[in-house]
Structure 1
Amino acid sequence: MHPEFPDEDIMTLFEEEVKDEDKNKWIVWFDDASNALGHGVGAVLVSPDEQYIPFMSRLGFECTNSIAEYEVCALGIQAAIDFKVKLLKVYGDSALVIHQLKAEWETKDHKLVPYQAYIRKLIGFFDDISFHHIPREENQMTDAFATVASMFQLSPLEDLPYIEFRCRGKPTHCCLIEEEKDGKPWYFDIKRYIEDKEYLLEASDNDKRTL
């Protein structure tokens, strides 16, 4: 134990040092999707200021799930190199790929050996790179990109334009609802009919049938 700091203070200082080291690192997430439509891969490159840059690709050749995972891992790392990234953390939900690249698991499939050799060459472009396994439920974004990529039938060398995804918080038709001029909520007339069975004076027969 350090003579000047209790154990808890030492752990706090250590955690702060780790955060300082990671704040300048980029992150890449990767995943594949294989189904009856084909093989798709998706990766997302995240900058230190949390800018998300997605990459998707459809694999136009027959391959196993493990090969597809290696393909997309290489895709994400290559994208980081193109952005001249020097500090990178790689996240994927394929235990096989992550543990083999960390040299923790033996590679028995000879088809995966060339991929490992290629990625090891790519590692040389970084000052620091690390590989991390995450649960599948924490990797939904890249899984969605990979699934989208697997659904498109593309000719060789044909690319799709950039696709932007946004979260819509309410139905589109809500944008057409105008504010009531009398200051009452839009559902006031409906509520009054439910409570008092009372129509508006100017309500037509069609309006009454709708209510």
Structure 2
Amino acid sequence: MSFGGASNALGHGIGVVLVSPKGDHYPLTARLNFFCTNNIAEYEACIMGLRAAIERKIKILEVRGDSALVIFQIRGDWEVRDSKLVKYRDLVAELIKEFYEVTFNYFSREENQLADALATLASMFKANRETEIMPIQMSIYETPAHCFSIEEESDGRPWFHDILEYIKNQKYPEQANENDKRTLRRIAIGFVLNGVILYKIGKDQVLLRCVDAVDARKILEEVHEGICGTHASGFTMARQIMRLGYFWLTIETDCIGYARK
């Protein structure tokens, strides 16, 4: 269990994080609507965490906090000289009797960022009554949001189907009006057909192969997995190619890519 307290111009808040042996995190936070010092806020946070652990029938607990005063006073290393903290120290002594084994360890503020963040959040969130907030769920994203953002074709045709049909057969889509036809002719100027393969003409005259959603996803997966033998990492390549507006992939001497829809 880690705990932290925060007192600032906006108010006072406390935060606790219970961590299971499997690594599951259970955050707790509360706002203190009464005047208190930083040390009192730290004691309040520690007590809230101990009570939460008791409610969950935890019997072996390691308590960690970045308040040296609270940790060392609870351990008995330091004397409690502030009269306002005596009752807090006595309450903690009663609560720890509920555990088979409990230890208190001091660690740096840098290692207690989550509990401190919860305490700061509670101190800044003004509420006149108890407010219920849904639990915070934190996901981990390994790649930027734009990666793997590939739209599936709703009609089962690739995004470049109309362009391909016009260049290959001079055929317009059904129900296309004159404005649609004019737009399609203008777009088609930037593409070239080589056999059955359609290419987008890049700004540097490099031909970028147009692929459907299935092939595009496969290419992206190979880029980010680094199995293509490229000289740059997948992330570096993706960052560079997104600035150009196209995805490209260098495999030996071939340049393969797909144009954005």
Same fold (TM over 0.5): yes
Residue 141, structure 1, aligned to residue 114, structure 2: yes
Q: TM (normalized to structure 2)? A: 0.58
Query: For each residue in 1:167-192, what CA deviation from the matched residue of structure 2 results, as whole angstroms up to 9, or x when unmatched?
Result: 34444444534594375778499389
* Equivalent residue, structure 2, for 1:108: 81
For residue 143 of structure 1, report the CA deviation from its aligned partner: 1.1
Q: Does the residue aligned with 1:176 lie in a helix, a strand or coil?
A: coil
For residue 162 of structure 1, report the CA deviation from its aligned partner: 2.0
CA pair 167-144 structure 1, distance change in 2 beyond 3 A: farther
The RMSD of aligned alpha carbons is 2.7
Query: For each residue in 1:80-107, what CA deviation from the matched residue of structure 2 results, as whole angstroms up to 9, or x when unmatched?
Result: 0010011111000000000000011011
Query: For each residue in 1:8-64, what CA deviation from the matched residue of structure 2 results, as whole angstroms up to 9, or x when unmatched?
Result: xxxxxxxxxxxxxxxxxxxx0001122222111110111122221110111111100
Query: Bigger radius of gyration, 1 or 2?
Result: 2
Instruction: Name the CA distance, whole Å, in 1 between partners of 2:27 and 2:137.
Output: 9
Unaligned runs of 5+ in 2: 153-210, 221-237, 247-258
Query: For each residue in 1:97-156, what CA deviation from the matched residue of structure 2 results, as whole angstroms up to 9, or x when unmatched?
Result: 000000110111100011011111101100111100001111111111111111211122
Residue 150, structure 1, aligned to residue 204, structure 2: no
CA pair 151-191 structure 1, distance change in 2 beyond 3 A: closer
* Equivalent residue, structure 2, for 1:14: none
* Equivalent residue, structure 1, for 2:104: 131
Unaligned runs of 5+ in 1: 1-27, 193-202
* Equivalent residue, structure 2, for 1:94: 67
Instruction: Name the CA distance, whole Å, in 2 between partners of 1:162 and 1:140.
Output: 18
* Equivalent residue, structure 1, for 2:244: 190
**What letter matches 2:107 in structure 1?**
I
Q: Could you tell me which of 42, 49, 57 is aligned with 2:15?
A: 42
* Equivalent residue, structure 2, for 1:196: none
**How many corresponding residue pairs?**
167
CA pair 155-108 structure 1, distance change in 2 beyond 3 A: same
Residue 61, structure 1, aligned to residue 49, structure 2: no
- Work out which structure has the larger RCO, using CA pairs closer than 8 Å and 6 or more positions apart in sequence: 1
**What letter matches 2:59 in structure 1?**
K
Residue 71, structure 1, aligned to residue 125, structure 2: no
**What letter matches 1:72 in structure 2?**
A
CA pair 178-65 structure 1, distance change in 2 beyond 3 A: same
Instruction: Name the CA distance, whole Å, in 1 between partners of 2:28 and 2:245.
Output: 49
Structure with bigger strand share is 2
**What letter matches 1:133 in structure 2?**
Y
**What letter matches 1:167 in structure 2?**
I
CA pair 168-59 structure 1, distance change in 2 beyond 3 A: farther
Instruction: Name the CA distance, whole Å, in 1 between partners of 2:143 and 2:121.
Output: 23
**What letter matches 2:149 in structure 1?**
L
Q: TM (normalized to structure 1)? A: 0.70
**What letter matches 1:124 in structure 2?**
K
